């Protein structure tokens, strides 16, 4: 976190969210501009405002607390904000590491995946971001062709969990890239404690900035897959 840690991000979020839900583009632009103009960094804005709003939208929509119209307004307008703000990220030199990043199929999951992809790109990684809905065989083929250092499955929904586990199992069974690490985070992995370890991920992160830090850490020890406890956890969140 930067020197903007004294900023009341929760208050900013509470002010911004209603305007997003109403699709009020002019007010959202003004609020974002004022916030960034007050000295809040682009990275902190995404981490401490955009990301929490992204998670709140999922919770509100899943609990039928907002109409689909409001959810669509907010999600699409928030994506516009994310697209603009990421242009102001501080950019590090390329670090020689490649990340292949995929996410859940929903609009909101795709937005969460984009935030993670943007953060990693700014941190120096070469990022391949394809979003959601990509078949497992295509992911495996792309992993074989591109040989990324990390396969990241970020901002996934509960319905994606069984498929993610199957994909990780396939990656391990083929073992074409023994040094490939699988990282997960956001979405269902923030809501189901222990799920990441249960399905065999070697790294787990809660937010986009956390993901950057997690991938920069020393090589992680792979987790065992297929345990009874892991299977039970997977069924519980599916």
How confident is the prediction along the chain (238 residues), in pLDDT tens digits per residue?
444 458 899 999 999 999 999 999 999 999 999 999 999 999 999 999 999 999 999 999 999 999 999 999 999 999 999 999 999 999 999 999 999 999 999 899 999 999 999 999 999 999 999 999 999 999 999 999 999 999 999 988 888 889 899 999 998 888 778 889 999 999 999 989 899 989 989 999 999 999 999 999 987 543 333 332 343 344 444 3
* β-pair partners for 185: 154, 205
DSSP assignment letter at 46: I
For residue range 148-187, list pLDDT tens digits in order.
Answer: 999 999 988 888 889 899 999 998 888 778 889 999 999 9
**Pairing status of strand 98-103 against strand 126-131:** parallel
Region class of 194: left (phi > 0), else alpha (psi between -120 and 50), else beta: left
The CATH number assigned to the domain with range 3-88 reads 1.10.1240.10
DSSP assignment letter at 157: -
> 220: which 2 tokens?
């992680």
- Whole-angstrom Cα distance, residue 117 to residue 113? 6
Second CATH level (architecture) for the domain 98-237 = 3-Layer(aba) Sandwich (3.40)
CA pseudo-torsion sign 88, 25, 211, 152: negative
In terms of Cα–Cα distance, which of 91, 73, 112, 89 is closest to 36?
89
* β-pair partners for 100: 128, 151
In terms of Cα–Cα distance, which of 185, 29, 19, 165 is closest to 101?
185
What is the arrangement of strands in the sheet containing 98-103, beginning at the earlier edge strand? 126-131, 98-103, 150-154, 181-185, 203-205
Query: What pLDDT, on a 0 to 100 scale, did the predictor assign at position 220?
Result: 55
> 215: which 2 tokens?
């991938």
| Domain edges within the chain | 3-88, 98-237
Query: What pLDDT, on a 0 to 100 scale, did the predictor assign at position 172?
Result: 86
């Amino acid at each position: 976190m930067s020197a903007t840690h004294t900023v009341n991000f929760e208050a900013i979020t509470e002010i911004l969210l209603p305007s997003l839900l109403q699709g009020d583009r002019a007010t959202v632009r003004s609020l974002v501009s004022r916030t960034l103009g007050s000295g809040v960094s682009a990275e902190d804005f995404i981490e401490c405002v955009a990301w929490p709003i992204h998670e709140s939208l999922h919770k509100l929509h899943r609990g039928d607390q907002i109409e689909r119209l409001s959810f669509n307004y907010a999600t699409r307008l928030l994506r516009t904000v994310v697209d603009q703000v990421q242009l102001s990220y501080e950019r590090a030199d390329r670090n020689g590491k490649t990340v292949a990043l995929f996410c859940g199929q929903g609009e909101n999951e795709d937005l969460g995946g984009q935030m993670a992809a943007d953060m990693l790109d700014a941190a120096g990684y070469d990022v391949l971001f394809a979003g959601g809905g990509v078949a497992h065989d295509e992911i495996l083929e792309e992993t074989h062709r591109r040989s990324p250092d990390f396969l990241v499955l970020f901002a996934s929904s509960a319905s994606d969990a069984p498929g993610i586990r199957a994909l990780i199992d396939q990656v391990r069974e083929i073992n074409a890239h023994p040094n490939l690490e699988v990282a997960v985070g956001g979405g269902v992995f923030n809501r189901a404690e222990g799920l990441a370890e249960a399905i065999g991920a070697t790294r787990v992160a809660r937010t986009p900035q956390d993901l950057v830090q997690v991938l920069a850490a020393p090589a992680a020890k792979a987790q065992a897959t297929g345990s009874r406890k892991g299977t039970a956890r997977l069924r519980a969140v599916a």
